[in-house]
Amino acid sequence: KELILSHIRRMARESGGVPPGRARFQKETGISAQRILGRYWARWSDAVLEGGSSQTRRLLLSQTKPHWMASCL
Protein backbone atom coordinates (compact mmCIF):
# COMPACT_ATOMS: atom_id res chain seq x y z
CA LYS A 1 0.00 0.00 0.00
CA GLU A 2 2.75 2.47 0.89
CA LEU A 3 4.59 1.72 -2.37
CA ILE A 4 1.45 2.58 -4.33
CA LEU A 5 0.95 5.78 -2.37
CA SER A 6 4.57 6.80 -2.94
CA HIS A 7 4.14 6.25 -6.70
CA ILE A 8 0.98 8.39 -6.70
CA ARG A 9 2.75 11.17 -4.79
CA ARG A 10 5.80 11.07 -7.05
CA MET A 11 3.77 11.08 -10.24
CA ALA A 12 1.60 13.97 -9.02
CA ARG A 13 4.70 15.93 -8.02
CA GLU A 14 6.30 15.33 -11.43
CA SER A 15 3.21 16.57 -13.24
CA GLY A 16 2.76 19.79 -11.29
CA GLY A 17 0.34 18.41 -8.73
CA VAL A 18 -1.99 16.63 -11.13
CA PRO A 19 -2.68 13.11 -9.87
CA PRO A 20 -2.14 10.20 -12.25
CA GLY A 21 -5.08 8.44 -13.81
CA ARG A 22 -5.33 4.67 -13.64
CA ALA A 23 -4.00 4.14 -17.16
CA ARG A 24 -0.95 6.34 -16.63
CA PHE A 25 -0.28 4.78 -13.25
CA GLN A 26 -0.38 1.26 -14.69
CA LYS A 27 1.75 2.20 -17.70
CA GLU A 28 4.48 3.80 -15.59
CA THR A 29 4.50 1.36 -12.65
CA GLY A 30 3.29 -1.93 -14.09
CA ILE A 31 0.79 -2.20 -11.21
CA SER A 32 -2.73 -2.83 -12.49
CA ALA A 33 -5.89 -1.40 -10.97
CA GLN A 34 -7.09 -4.96 -10.43
CA ARG A 35 -4.24 -5.49 -7.95
CA ILE A 36 -5.17 -2.31 -6.08
CA LEU A 37 -8.93 -1.86 -6.16
CA GLY A 38 -10.93 -3.98 -3.78
CA ARG A 39 -7.76 -4.82 -1.90
CA TYR A 40 -6.64 -1.44 -0.58
CA TRP A 41 -9.26 1.00 -1.89
CA ALA A 42 -12.74 0.73 -3.35
CA ARG A 43 -12.12 3.36 -6.05
CA TRP A 44 -9.06 4.81 -7.77
CA SER A 45 -10.03 8.26 -6.53
CA ASP A 46 -9.81 6.97 -2.94
CA ALA A 47 -6.20 5.92 -3.53
CA VAL A 48 -5.37 9.27 -5.11
CA LEU A 49 -7.02 11.14 -2.25
CA GLU A 50 -5.06 9.19 0.35
CA GLY A 51 -1.80 9.67 -1.49
CA GLY A 52 -2.36 13.21 -2.60
CA SER A 53 -1.82 16.66 -1.33
CA SER A 54 -4.54 19.17 -0.52
CA GLN A 55 -4.15 20.44 -4.09
CA THR A 56 -4.97 16.96 -5.36
CA ARG A 57 -7.96 16.74 -3.05
CA ARG A 58 -9.30 20.09 -4.29
CA LEU A 59 -8.83 19.00 -7.91
CA LEU A 60 -10.69 15.72 -7.38
CA LEU A 61 -13.47 17.33 -5.40
CA SER A 62 -13.90 20.05 -8.00
CA GLN A 63 -14.48 17.30 -10.57
CA THR A 64 -17.14 15.54 -8.48
CA LYS A 65 -18.84 18.30 -6.48
CA PRO A 66 -20.66 21.45 -7.57
CA HIS A 67 -18.28 24.35 -8.15
CA TRP A 68 -19.49 26.28 -5.11
CA MET A 69 -18.63 23.35 -2.80
CA ALA A 70 -15.11 22.89 -4.17
CA SER A 71 -14.32 26.58 -3.63
CA CYS A 72 -15.16 26.19 0.08
CA LEU A 73 -12.33 23.70 0.64
Cα–Cα nearest to 61, from 36, 51, 71 = 71
pTM to 2 decimal places: 0.72
Q: Does the pLDDT at position 73 exceed 80? A: no
For 10-62, how does the pLDDT look when each residue is reduced to its tens digit (9 = 90+)?
A: 999 998 888 899 999 999 999 998 899 999 999 998 898 898 755 656 666 66
pLDDT, position 45: 86
The count of other CB atoms within 10 Å of the CB of residue 33 is: 15
pLDDT, position 36: 92
pLDDT, position 22: 92
